[in-house]
Structure 1
Amino acid sequence: MSVQQDPGKEYQRRVSRMQSRVRGLMLGLALGDTVGGARGEPPAAGPLRAGVSTQLACFTAEGVVRAMVRGQHKGICHPPGVVLHAYCRWAALQGIEEERMRRRWVPYPSDRPWPDGWLAGVPALAERRGSAPATVTALSRIEDPHSRIATPSRGCHALTRTLPVAVAGPHWSEQAGEFAALTHGDPAARSAAVQAAVLLQHALTAPRPDGPGDPAEHLARTALETGIAALPAGPAPGSDGEQERLHAAFRSALDRPAEPALLARLAPEASAPSALLGGLYTAASFPGRDRFRAALEFAAGAPDPGSVACVTGALLGAVHGAEALPVDLVSRHELGWVLDTLARDLLAQIEDSPGGSEYVPGWDPHWWDRYPGW
C-alpha cells in the first residue's frame, strides 16, 4: 500500500531544509570569523564579537535582497551598484568618510534618513572590528566619477564578504566576482569569489547520500567534489591556476587530512585565493557533522586564521545546516539574531517576494522599508 505524499507538506519540508542550510552558511561564516580571529581560543563565557568579514557579509546579504527588490519593483537593476551602496552604508556607520558617503548617495536635501534599512540600526555593525584596508581605500574614492575605485588588492575580504551571494543561486555566481571587483582589482580575487559561490551552491543543494559509511561525512565531501567538478575546465582568466589548486587541495584532504604544515602551504597569506584553498582543505579534512568545532580550531592555525576559518565555517554550515553548529558558540554570538534574520529574509525574498512587485502587491507592507530597493 503506497502512501500518498502531501505536496504542501513536501514543499514546507524542502523550504525548511534549505532554510537550515542558508542559516548554517551565514552563522558558520560568522563563527569561523570569530573563532579564527581568536586563533582558536574564543572566550569561554560572555558574548562573542563579530569580525569585519562578518559585518561586510551582512551588508552583502542585505544588498542582494535590496537588488532583488529593486529589480521586481523598478524592472531594471544593476546589482553591483546596489551592493556598493550597501558597503557605503557600512562605512558610514563605521564613521569612515561619512560625509563623503552621504554626499554620494543623498546629494540633495532630503527628509529620508540615511543610512536606511533595518540593518543600519544594529549597534554592533557600527563598531570597528578589525581592518579592511582595500575595501576602505576603494570606498573612500566613491565621489570620483572618472576613476575606477578598486585597488589592485587580492585580499581575503573580497572573498569572505561575498560568501552569502551563493544563496541567490547559480545565475548569481558571476555577480560574486563583480561584488569582489568593486574594491579588489586583482583578477585572482574575483576568480576566487566566483569559485567559492559555486562550491557553496553545491553545498547548499547537496542531496542526502544513500551509500554506506558516515552519511554526513560522505555528504560534505561529495558536495565539495561536485562543486569543484562544476567549475569551468582549465584555468580561468586571472585565476593563476587556482582551479587546479582546488582539485589538489581536495585530494590532499583525502590523502593527508588535517596537516598543519600542509594548511600553511595551501593558505600562506591573507588573500582571497589562500582563504578559499585553506577553507576547502579544512572542510574536506573535517567533513563530519560533529567535527565543526574541530574544523574551526584547525583552521585557526593557518597563517591568516580568520579568513580560512570563515570559509570553512560557511562550507560546513551550508552542508550540514544550522542545527549542526555548536550551540554554546551560536547562542553567544552578538550578531546571531541578525545573521539568522538575514538568512531567513534572503530565502523569503527568493522564494516568496514578500514585498511584491511593480504590478503585484506583496503580503508584507513593511518589506520595502526594511529593504529599500536602491
Structure 2
Amino acid sequence: MIRTEPPLATARGCVLGLMLGDAIGATGGTLPASGLLRATSAGQLACFTVDGLIRAHIRGMHKGLTHPPGMIWHAYNRWAVLQGIAGVKPTYGSDPPAGWLAEVPVLRERRGSAPATVAALQKGVVGTLERPGGPSIGAHGLTRALPAGLCTWWESPGSLGASLAALTHGGSALPAAALGATMIHLIGLGNTVAGAAMRAHSVPHGSWSDTAGDLLAPALAAADARPADPVQLTRLAAGATGQAALLGGVYVAVSFPEREQVREALLFASSAGAKHSATVAGALLGAAHGADALPVDWLSRLELAWVADTLARDYVTQVEHSPSGAEYVEATDPYWMSRYGG
C-alpha cells in the first residue's frame, strides 16, 4: 500500500524547522539571550501554506475535486486581509477570514515586507505555471512553498512547489521551489539531505518539467570540498533570490548533517547573513531528523512554535483520518470544519 500522508515526524520537523530557521536567520547571528524568537513574513506565509493544504484536502474529501494552488492562493489572501494590507480584497466577499489562524495575534502583525506576494495579491490575478504571477525571483517564492513537499496526494510535490511559487513569482523561483519541495518529499521517504539533493532533479514533476537538474550541484560540490565555510556560503547564497536561498540552505544542511548539529547549522547560516538559507536549512534538517532534534531551549522561545506544530499535526491528521468526514465517511470532529472552513 502506498502511503499518501507524510510521517508525523517529518511533517512536524519540516514545519517547525522552517519556522525556527526563519526566526534564527532574522537575528543575523546575534541571538538574544532571552525573549521571543520572532517570526518574519516568510514564516507567516508558510503557516498559511499548510493551512491551505489542509483546506484543499478537506475540499477534495467533500467535493471530490480540489486544486491546492487555488486554495493556497485564498490562504495568502487571508494573510494579507488579516494584516490590513491596502488594496487586497477578500476573495470570499466581505466576511472576515474564517478559521483559527485568524485568531493568532502574531499573524496579524506586519513582519517585514513580502513585496512580490503583496503586489500579486493586490492585482488579484492568480499566477500559474504557464503564466506566473509576477517577475520576481525572490526567496519567498521558495520558502513558503517548502511544505508542498509534504503533499503526495495531488500531482507531485515538485509540481505543487513550482505552482505555489508561480502564484506570485516567476523565473528561477519556480525550479527552486520545485526542487526544494521535492527534497522535503525525498527526505520523508528516508533519504539524507545530501541524498535528496542528488536525486531531486531525477524525480518526475508532473505538469512541471523545468527543474534545472544541475542547480544543486554547486552546493553539493562546495559542501564536499569546503564544508561550513562562510566564504562558500556567502558565494552560494548571494542575493535574496529563491535559487540562492536553496543553494545556501542545501550547503548548510549538508555541511552539518548530524542530528546534534542543528543548532550549529542555523547559527552558522545566520552569522553569515544568509537568513533565507537558514530558513531552508531548518526545514531540511527538521524533516530529516524530526522535531525532537530541534533545540528545545530555542523552541520554547519560538513565537510560532505552537501554531506551527498544531498545523503540522493537523495536516497529518486530515490526510490520515479526515476528521470532518466525507461523502461516505462520518465526521469524528464536529469542530474541524470551523477550524479550517471558509
Query: What is the TM-score of this pair, normalised by structure 1?
Result: 0.83
Query: What secondary structure does 1:284 align onto?
Result: helix
For 1:195, the equivalent position in structure 2 comes to 179
Q: Distance in 1 between matches of 2:145 and 2:261?
A: 25
Of 55-64 and 159-168, deviating more is 159-168
Q: Distance in 2 between matches of 1:274 and 1:185?
A: 15
Match of 1:176 among 156, 161, 184: 161
Map of 1:1-374 to 2, 5 A cutoff? 18-97=7-86, 100-102=88-90, 104-106=91-93, 113-142=95-124, 150-169=133-152, 171-186=156-171, 188-206=172-190, 219-227=192-200, 230=203, 237=210, 242-303=212-273, 305-372=274-341
Please give the per-residue CA displacement for 1:36-89, whole angstroms capped at 9, x wherever unaligned.
111122211111111111100000000011011111111222222111110000
CA, structure 1 residues 143+322, in 2 after alignment: closer, same or farther (shift >3 Å)?
closer
Aligned residue type for 1:161:
R
Query: What secondary structure does 1:355 align onto?
Result: coil
Q: Distance in 1 between matches of 2:258 and 2:252?
A: 12
Q: How many residues align?
A: 332
Q: Distance in 2 between matches of 1:189 and 1:91?
A: 21
Aligned residue type for 1:41:
T
Cα root mean square deviation, aligned: 2.4
Shift of the alpha carbon at 1:158? 0.4
Query: What secondary structure does 1:60 align onto?
Result: helix
Please give the per-residue CA displacement for 1:168-213, whole angstroms capped at 9, x wherever unaligned.
1273331111111010122x11111111011111112216xxxxxx
Query: What secondary structure does 2:123 align onto?
Result: coil
Contact kept, 8 Å, 1:142 with 1:149, in 2: the verdict is no
Shift of the alpha carbon at 1:267? 1.4
Contact kept, 8 Å, 1:302 with 1:308, in 2: the verdict is no
Larger Rg: 1
Aligned residue type for 1:189:
A
Contact kept, 8 Å, 2:23 with 2:40, in 1: the verdict is yes
Shift of the alpha carbon at 1:255? 1.9
Shift of the alpha carbon at 1:236? 5.5
Contact kept, 8 Å, 2:197 with 2:216, in 1: the verdict is no
Please give the per-residue CA displacement for 1:209-240, whole angstroms capped at 9, x wherever unaligned.
xxxxxxxxxx44334434455478xx963x6x
Structure 1 residue ranges, 4+ long, deviating more than 2 angstroms after superposition: 169-173, 219-232
Of 221-230 and 155-164, deviating more is 221-230
Aligned residue type for 1:82:
M
Please give the per-residue CA displacement for 1:8-35, whole angstroms capped at 9, x wherever unaligned.
xxx9xxx9x9212211111111111111
Contact kept, 8 Å, 1:250 with 1:284, in 2: the verdict is yes
Q: Distance in 1 between matches of 2:125 and 2:283?
A: 34
Contact kept, 8 Å, 2:12 with 2:291, in 1: the verdict is yes
Contact kept, 8 Å, 2:29 with 2:272, in 1: the verdict is no
Query: What is the TM-score of this pair, normalised by structure 2?
Result: 0.90
Query: What secondary structure does 1:62 align onto?
Result: helix
Unaligned runs of 5+ in 1: 1-10, 108-112, 208-218
Unaligned runs of 5+ in 2: none
Question: When you count helix as a share of all residues, which structure comes out higher?
Answer: 1
